[in-house]
Structure formats: C-alpha cells, structure tokens
Amino acid sequence: MHVDSSRPARARIDSVDVVRGVIMVLMALDHTRDYFGIPGQNPTDLSTASAALFMTRWITNICAPVFFLLTGTGACLSRRRRSPGNLAGFLFTRGLWLIVLDLVVLRCLAYQFNFDFRVTLLLVLWALGWSMIALAALVRLPAPVVTAIGAIMIVGHNLLDTVRSTSPLWSILHQPGFVLNTPAHVVFAAYPLVPWIGVTAVGYGLGQIYSWSATRRRAFLLRLGLVLTLAFIALRAVNVYGDPSRWSRHDSTLYTVLSFFATTKYPPSLLFLLMTLGPALLFLGAVDGATPRALRPAIIFGRVPLFYYIVHFPLIHLLALATCVARYGTAHWMFESPSVAHYPFTAPPGWGFPLPVVYLIWALIVCAMYPLCRWYAALKARRTDPWLSYI
C-alpha cells in the first residue's frame, strides 16, 4: 500500500540532516562506552573520572537535546504537506510506536537481550514518544504559542528542584526515580518528561525559520546560538539558578573548568540545555546552505535517524557478546540484568577496555552502520509505503 500520490514529497534540508547525522555518530560513542567501557566508572564524578573520560561523556551530551529539538523542527516542516489534524494524528501514533519500541522491542532485543522484564528503564525513545504525543496536542495552536510553552518549561522547571517526592508521577514528569520498585519488577524513569517536551515544542517553533530566506535564516541561527551560549556562560558563572549542581573550584585549573561544564542531564537543567543547544544552533547555522565535504556522509545518517538508532544498539551489544565469548568462553553475563546497577548487562569479571579501545570499536560501529543506513535511505527515497514514516 502506498500513500496518496497527491501529497507533496518531503523536501530534505541538508543542514538539518547533517547536524542530526553528526549527533547520531556521537551518540554511538556513548553507547559503545556503555558496553565496552570499564564498569563502575562515573564519567561525571570529577573526584574519580579522568579528564578524557569526562570529555568523552560531555561531548555526547549534545545528542539528546538536538534529537528532541529537531524532532519538533521536523514536525513543523511537515505542516507544509499535512493538515493540522493529519499532523496531530501522525505525531500521536508515531509517539505511541516509539514508546512500545523502547519498552518492548528494543528493551528485549537490543538493550538487555532478555525477556524477563525484571528491570526496565524508561529511556530516550520513551521520552521522545511522549514529547511527540504532547506536541500532537499543541500543533493546532499558533507556532509562537507552542514555542512560548516550550520555553517556559525549559526556563522554569528548575524552580521545582527543591521538591522531593517518591510519587511515580513525579519521577515521570520531573525527577528521575522509580516508577515501580518491587522484588519482582523495577521500572526506573531516567528521562523525566517536562523539560524534554519543552525542547520539542521549542524545536517546533524553530521550524518556522525554514520558510525564510537562506541569508536571514543563517544570521538568525548564528545570533541565537551565540546568545544561548553566552547566556550559559553568564548564568553558570553566577552559580545561583539553572542547575541543581553548582560548579566549584578545584586544586587543578583543568578540573575547575570541567566543574563549570558539569551540568545536570537527568533531568536536563536550563544550563545543560543552554550549554548544548547554543553550540548546536551555531553548528546548524554554519552548515546552512553548504555542507563541508568531510561531513557529507553524516547526511545519510541524518536521513534515517530512527533506523540508525534501532540497528546500532543490537550491533554494539552483539559485538560485546562476541568479545565476551572470545575472552571467557561463555557470554551468559550479556543476557543478565537483575538490577538497575547491572543495566544493561552484568559485567563479567575484569570486563572493560580503556578509552582508546572504546574509540576504535566506536569507529568500527559507525563504519558498519554507513552502508546499512545508505541502503535504507535509498529505500525511503524511492518508496512511499506508510510504514517507512515510522522507522
């Protein structure tokens, strides 16, 4: 079955695709570290983490905010070929699909390689799904109103940082925590919804600029990116509002600087979002109109982001499984995740590799993903099957 041929074909915007593609590449670094890094190392704990480990984690912080932002932007661009009702329906159904994909399909076949459901984490696709459902309820409003609602969520949600609650609803909306915690089953919300819905709503507003002239759009992106980046520096220097974790002076100048940039991702604080979205908008403006030759392969990844996400996780996990078999003669640990502390698998004795090895494996994963994504991007380009809109 094919979609109505009278619907205008989707016009790709290379600058959006290249930024999204670079984000997908960086995302794979963080996930490779999850499976191949040394267990127990907290990359954001400056009392134990090396500068290299901190920066490896820090550079990937840009991924989730940009993913949510550009999801909203993509929804706004879809208004050119969908009625508000049709767009709302698509966002609602795709949001539900992402939630099922995260909680059932990827949880069993990619993240954890088991079907016992003793431990389930509510992760990025779960939050992205709910963000799309929330946006489905907003798309009939004027875009400036949607943008204002998102901005209020982003700027104001840190006012609630002092509220402490064990309510499952509070864990879902604002504070990471247990939604369910029994001896038989654990459900942990890692991605509280409120700020992520806000980022998606702001991204929807950002989509309006793609009806402007290229010169005006590029200038706006560069100015806005600079303003957000400078706002981060100013607010972080004041050290009063915008993040529950304050920066502090260390014996080392380097670690004092790292402390300045050690903002909170769970949930994403105002400063975390300024720190990541400001440079992301500068990048988006820099590649608007012309993609550097070195970044052209990223366009392929950016055209099929969900396919990339779905495939790269089991690929990393399978490679970890094969490495485990080669090293230990068995791989039962790769199927065991009895607690949140052992998510997404139980590390075998002596498991983990130094960062240079992690980076090498990451490069191999990205190279392996390229022909798969190129094939799927070509499939989407030549076919109009409705299911292709959902992967």
Question: For the segment 121-169, what is each residue's pLDDT rounded down to a tens digit?
Answer: 999 999 999 999 999 999 999 999 999 999 999 999 999 999 989 999 9
Say if 3 falls within a structural domain: no
- Helices 193-206 and 143-156 meet at what angle, rounded to 10? 140
For residue 113, is it left (φ>0), alpha (ψ between -120 and 50) or beta? Answer: left
Band of pLDDT at residue 217, cut at 50, 70 and 90: very high
pLDDT surpasses 60 at 299: yes
The whole-number pLDDT of residue 186 equals: 95
Distance CA 92, CA 107 (A): 21
Q: What is the mean pLDDT of residues 36-49?
A: 93
Say if 2 falls within a structural domain: no
Task: Work out the end-to-end distance of the chain between its first and last CA atoms, rounded to an integer number of angstroms.
Answer: 16
pLDDT tens for 276-289 read 999 999 999 999 98
The whole-number pLDDT of residue 389 equals: 80
Q: Which of 21-35, 73-87, 98-112, 320-334 has the lowest mean pLDDT?
A: 73-87
> What dihedral angle (degrees, nearest 10) is formed by the CA atoms of 266, 268, 271, 277?
130
Number of Cβ within 10 Å of residue 148's Cβ equals: 15
pLDDT surpasses 50 at 386: yes
Say if 8 falls within a structural domain: no
Band of pLDDT at residue 388, cut at 50, 70 and 90: confident
The whole-number pLDDT of residue 25 equals: 97
pLDDT surpasses 60 at 235: yes
The secondary structure of the chain in percent helix, strand, coil, rounded to multiples of 5, reads 70, 5, 30
Q: Count the domains in the chain.
A: 1
pLDDT surpasses 90 at 6: no
The whole-number pLDDT of residue 32 equals: 98
Range of the domain at 52: 14-390
Say if 7 falls within a structural domain: no
Say if 61 falls within a structural domain: yes
pLDDT surpasses 80 at 4: no
pLDDT tens for 76-99 read 999 888 888 999 999 999 999 999
Beta bridge mates, 291: none
The whole-number pLDDT of residue 364 equals: 98
Beginning with the edge strand found earlier in the chain, give each strand of the sheet holding 119-122 in spatial order: 119-122, 186-189, 177-181
The maximal CA–CA distance of the chain, rounded, in angstroms, is 65
- Percentage of the chain beyond pLDDT 70 is 97
What mean pLDDT value characterizes the chain? 94
| Assigned token pair, 296 | 């052209």
Say if 90 falls within a structural domain: yes
Band of pLDDT at residue 385, cut at 50, 70 and 90: confident
Say if 104 falls within a structural domain: yes
Q: What is the mean pLDDT of residues 50-63?
A: 97
The whole-number pLDDT of residue 308 equals: 98
Is pTM beyond 0.75? Reply is yes
Say if 5 falls within a structural domain: no
